[in-house]
């Protein structure tokens, strides 16, 4: 979506907010929670075609799960925004070579999973359902998949998980929301309205949802990987995680961007899993 279109939508909702701030805020939140892509194309479908397919459920919503079976540790992979389980293609062969039992899921409103809308809290519940079914020892989450993995461990007793790897993950929802509001150019009516809807729907203020703060008491060993030049989630988020997550190590990269798909990172991930 071009910056002109983004600003045009933002201006239209700003105008609508003078008639009904509630209507405009609801529309703004729906826009925020609706992925524009993330369903499978033919090439992406081919990547997951070799996996054993499972369909689990949370609140009558399908959770698409893919399993590349192995005899080693079970690893659960959670992708980020506007993506799907195929995003892990760059690392799958390396994980298979170690005979790990590899599980990946599609987030809400992504891939073949259900729901028309996405949020990290719902995603964390999807992840929890999958952990209950497959009992992974290791969680690996990219971007909001990392945040949702943290939310899952914070909200549920997940005894099987011993290690957590987060790649380019946002440290707090406040920052994510602020960047969205800023990008769209929303006025104060919509900005305050969005905050009020979060409180109304989830019973907590926006600043409560701090993934970094949630890691303070984690017993699972952590690995934080973040690129200094990440243009989507600022490197400062990684530093915040490192400051809060006492049982974690930070690996800083430079030049791999938000995707962090460079092959040089893979040996470090495998070393951490086996360590």
Name the average pLDDT for the chain: 96
Residue 38 covered by a domain: no
- Three-state SS across the chain? CCHHHHHHHHHHHHHHHCCCHHHHHHHHHHHHHCCCCCCCCHHHHHHHCCCEEEEEEECCEEEEEEEECCCCCEEEEECCCCCCHHHHHHHHHHHHHCCCEEEEECCCCCCCCCCCCCCHHHHHHHHHHHHHHHCCCEEEEECHHHHHHHHHHHHCCCCCCCEEEEECCCCCHHHHHHHHHHHHCCCHHHHHHHHHHHHHHHCCCHHHCCHHHHHHHCCCEEEEEEECCCCCCCHHHHHHHHHHCCCEEEEEECCCCCCCCCHHHHHHHHHHHHC
Q: Are residues 9 and 113 in the same domain?
A: no
Whether residue 213 is predicted with pLDDT greater than 80 in this model: the reply is yes
CA neighbours within 13 Å on the CB side: how many for 249?
10
pLDDT, tens digit (0-9, with 9 covering 90-100), for 151-195: 999 999 999 999 999 999 999 999 999 999 999 999 999 999 999
pLDDT of 73: 98
Q: Are residues 70 and 140 in the same domain?
A: yes
Residue 96: pLDDT band with limits 50, 70, 90: very high
**What is the extent of the structural domain holding 124?**
50-172+213-274
Q: Are residues 81 and 166 in the same domain?
A: yes
Q: What is the DSSP string of 188-212?
A: HHHHHHHHHHHHHHHSS-GGG--HH
pLDDT of 46: 97
Q: Are residues 250 and 159 in the same domain?
A: yes
Tokens of 81: 């925004």
Residue 182 covered by a domain: no
Q: Secondary structure of the chain: what % helix, strand, coil (to 5)?
A: 50, 15, 35
CATH code assigned at 54: 3.40.50.1820
Q: Are residues 204 and 124 in the same domain?
A: no
pLDDT of 5: 82
pLDDT of 7: 81
Residue 40 covered by a domain: no
pLDDT of 65: 98
Give the angle 68-72-74 at the CA atoms, nearest 5°. 60
Q: Are residues 135 and 247 in the same domain?
A: yes
Q: Are residues 115 and 204 in the same domain?
A: no
CA distance 21 to 242: 38
Please report where in the chains the tokens 């070393």 appear, as a residue.
Answer: 271
Tokens of 121: 């809290």
CA distance 272 to 275: 5
Q: Are residues 104 and 223 in the same domain?
A: yes
Q: Are residues 222 and 159 in the same domain?
A: yes
Residue 128: pLDDT band with limits 50, 70, 90: very high
**Sign of the Cα pseudo-torsion (42, 47, 50, 52, in order):** negative
pLDDT of 1: 61
pLDDT of 23: 96
* Number of independent structural domains in the chain: 2
Task: Give me the mean pLDDT over the 253-268 stretch.
Answer: 96
Residue 45 covered by a domain: no
Q: Are residues 73 and 132 in the same domain?
A: yes
pLDDT of 6: 85
Q: Are residues 116 and 241 in the same domain?
A: yes
pTM for this prediction: 0.95
Whether residue 4 is predicted with pLDDT greater than 90 in this model: the reply is no
Task: Give me the mean pLDDT over the 215-241 stretch.
Answer: 97
Q: Are residues 3 and 108 in the same domain?
A: no
pLDDT, tens digit (0-9, with 9 covering 90-100), for 20-63: 999 999 999 999 999 999 999 999 999 999 999 999 999 999 99
What dihedral angle (degrees, nearest 10) is formed by the CA atoms of 265, 212, 77, 128?
170
pLDDT of 136: 98
Q: Residues of the chain with pLDDT > 70: what percent?
A: 99
């Amino acid at each position: 979506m071009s910056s002109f279109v983004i600003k045009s939508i933002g201006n239209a909702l700003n105008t609508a907010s003078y008639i009904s701030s509630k209507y405009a805020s609801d529309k703004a939140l729906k826009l925020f929670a609706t992925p524009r892509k993330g369903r499978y194309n033919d090439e992406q479908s081919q990547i997951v075609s070799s996996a054993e397919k499972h369909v689990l459920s949370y609140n009558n919503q399908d959770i698409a799960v893919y399993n590349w079976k192995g005899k080693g540790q079970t690893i659960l992979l959670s992708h980020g925004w506007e993506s799907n389980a195929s995003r892990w293609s760059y690392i799958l062969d390396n994980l298979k070579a170690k005979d790990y039992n590899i599980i990946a899921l599609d987030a809400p409103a992504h891939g073949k999973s259900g729901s028309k809308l996405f949020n990290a809290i719902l995603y964390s519940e999807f992840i929890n359902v999958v952990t209950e079914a497959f009992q992974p020892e290791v969680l690996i989450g990219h971007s909001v998949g990392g945040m949702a993995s943290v939310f899952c461990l914070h909200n549920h007793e997940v005894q099987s998980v011993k290690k957590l790897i987060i790649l380019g993950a946002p440290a707090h929802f406040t920052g994510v929301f602020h960047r969205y509001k800023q990008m769209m150019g929303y006025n104060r009516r919509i900005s305050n309205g969005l905050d009020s809807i979060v409180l109304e729907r989830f019973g907590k203020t926006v600043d409560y949802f701090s993934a970094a703060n949630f890691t303070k008491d984690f017993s699972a060993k952590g690995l934080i990987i973040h690129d200094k030049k990440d243009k989507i989630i600022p490197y400062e988020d990684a530093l915040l995680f490192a400051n809060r997550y006492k049982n974690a190590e930070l690996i800083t990269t430079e030049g791999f961007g938000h995707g962090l798909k460079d092959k040089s990172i893979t040996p470090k991930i495998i070393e951490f899993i086996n360590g």
